[in-house]
Structures are given as structure tokens and as C-alpha cells.
Amino acid sequence: MTERRKLPVVLVASRDCGECSACCELEGVDELAKAPLTRCSRQRDGGGCDAYAIRPPACIAFRCLWHHGLLEDDGRPDRLGVMLDGFSLDDQAAGTSKPGILAKEVAPNGFERAESTLRWLVARTGQPILLRRYDGQHFEFNGFGLTPPSVPIVTV
């Protein structure tokens, strides 16, 4: 069975999210009974959180790859068009694991805005990127085009 889990990533740069609040809409937060792809009730217009000082542990722990310092400034999700997150595909039967990247569209057509950066990441990592379109559909991007995912996708 192949299972997806978060990769532990060490924060290499401290960045201020500024006006970006992509994770506040894209990520699910169990502590708030907030489903993925829904706006958080605590999200401010123009970015930020009304309850930042008392936000749930899931919100405190989450960091996109831009926040980790793995992309240039223009790779901030609201600028790039997609939010990038690392994960690990575990094949329990084979006892193996391989890292991957999940790109989540911040808005419709975000993939098209981010395509050159995603193409660069595919070339750099040698791995396709899993893509969740804004409408919730999943694809793989291999650097040349979109195909159906080659692994089962768990709602993320």
C-alpha cells in the first residue's frame, strides 16, 4: 500500500507571509472543523489571521516550501499561483519512501502562471509534481504536460 505523509523539513529561512494567506484557504484545519478549499472564518481580507496569537497547532506547524526558503521571493504562493508543499510517498510493502512535491492552485489558472517554476522543479528533482487544481481535481505534472496521477491521492 502506498501512503502519503508530510516530509519533515527544517526551516532554513524565516519569512513573513505578508499579504499571502493561501494556506488559510487551501489547507484543512481539524481544530476549526475547516475543510480544505474553504476560506477560514478567521482570515482577514488582505491577508493575516484575526486570531493569530491563539491559532491552532496545525496552523502554527504548517509551512509551505516558500516559507521554508526553498523558493525565491516571487515563489510566494499568492505571487506564484500555486502553494508548494513537500510530502513523502511510503510504499509499506516494499519498505521504501520517496519525497515528492504537491502544488495546490491558489486561484483558477494558477498552474499556468507557475508552469515555468514547476518545470524547473521537475528538472531539478527528477520527479513529477502532484497538482491539485483549484476545482479539486488532481493531476501529475511531468514537465511537459498534465496526466492523471500515478499514485492514489488522499484528500489534502
Three-state secondary-structure class, residue 82 = strand
Residue that the C-alpha cell 509499506 belongs to: 92
* pLDDT > 70? residue 104: yes
Separation CA 154–CA 138 (nearest Å): 10
- pLDDT tens-digit readout, 11-39: 455 688 888 999 998 888 999 999 988 88
Dihedral-angle region of residue 2 (phi above 0 means left; psi in -120 to 50 means alpha; beta otherwise)? beta
At 58, the amino acid letter reads A
At residue 151, the pLDDT reads 65
What distance lies between CA 151 and its chain's CA centroid?
A: 17
- pLDDT tens-digit readout, 115-125: 999 999 999 88
Cα 53 to Cα 21, 38, 50, 60, 152: the distances in Å are: 16, 21, 9, 10, 36
- pLDDT tens-digit readout, 59-69: 988 889 998 88
Residue 57: which H helix or E strand, with range?
helix 57-61
At residue 105, the pLDDT reads 94
Q: What are the extents of the domains in the chain?
A: 2-147
At residue 56, the pLDDT reads 93
Q: Are strands 2-6 and 96-105 parallel, antiparallel or unpaired?
A: unpaired
* In the chain, % of residues over pLDDT 90: 31
pTM listed for this prediction: 0.80
Three-state secondary-structure class, residue 74 = helix
